């Protein structure tokens, strides 16, 4: 049997599925698909997928995946104040 990376499970087709939100069974692919479908914020991601709706320990990872897929990094507020 091939060892599996931590946090990954093999599907029936031999591909790996990384679970980001264990509480609600939300995968990295689910989050990327939501971003590609127009999801723009973590609260919206939670509404669409359920990620973060329970313990919330997945929110940082979910937010990073959302930003990575969208190709956008939100600037912290102090950075915006200096730009004006
Ligand atoms: S791991 Fe996502 S809400 Fe608990």
Mean predicted confidence (pLDDT) in 24-52: 95
Mean of the per-residue pLDDT values for the chain? 80
| pTM, to two decimals | 0.69
Ramachandran quadrant class, 5 (left: phi over 0; alpha: psi -120 to 50; beta: rest): beta
CA-22 nearest atom, ligand 1: 1
Q: What is the pLDDT of residue 17?
A: 86
Confidence of residue 81 (pLDDT cuts 50, 70, 90): low
Contact 49, 24 (CB under 8 A): yes
**Residue 48, pLDDT above cutoff 70:** yes
**Residue 22, pLDDT above cutoff 80:** yes
Q: What is the pLDDT of residue 77?
A: 55
Distance 12 CA to ligand 1 centre (A): 24
Write down all domains in the chain, each with its CATH number in brackets. 8-83 (1.10.10.1100)
Pocket lining for ligand 1, CB < 6 angstroms:
21-24, 51-58
């Amino acid at each position: 049997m091939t060892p599996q990376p931590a946090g990954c499970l093999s599907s029936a087709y031999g591909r790996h599925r990384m679970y980001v939100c264990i509480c609600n069974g939300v995968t990295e692919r689910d989050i990327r698909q939501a971003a590609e479908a127009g999801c723009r914020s973590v609260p919206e991601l939670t509404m669409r997928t359920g990620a973060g709706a329970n313990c919330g320990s997945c929110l940082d990872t979910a937010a990073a995946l959302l930003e990575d897929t969208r190709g956008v990094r939100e600037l912290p507020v102090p950075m915006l104040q200096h730009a004006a």
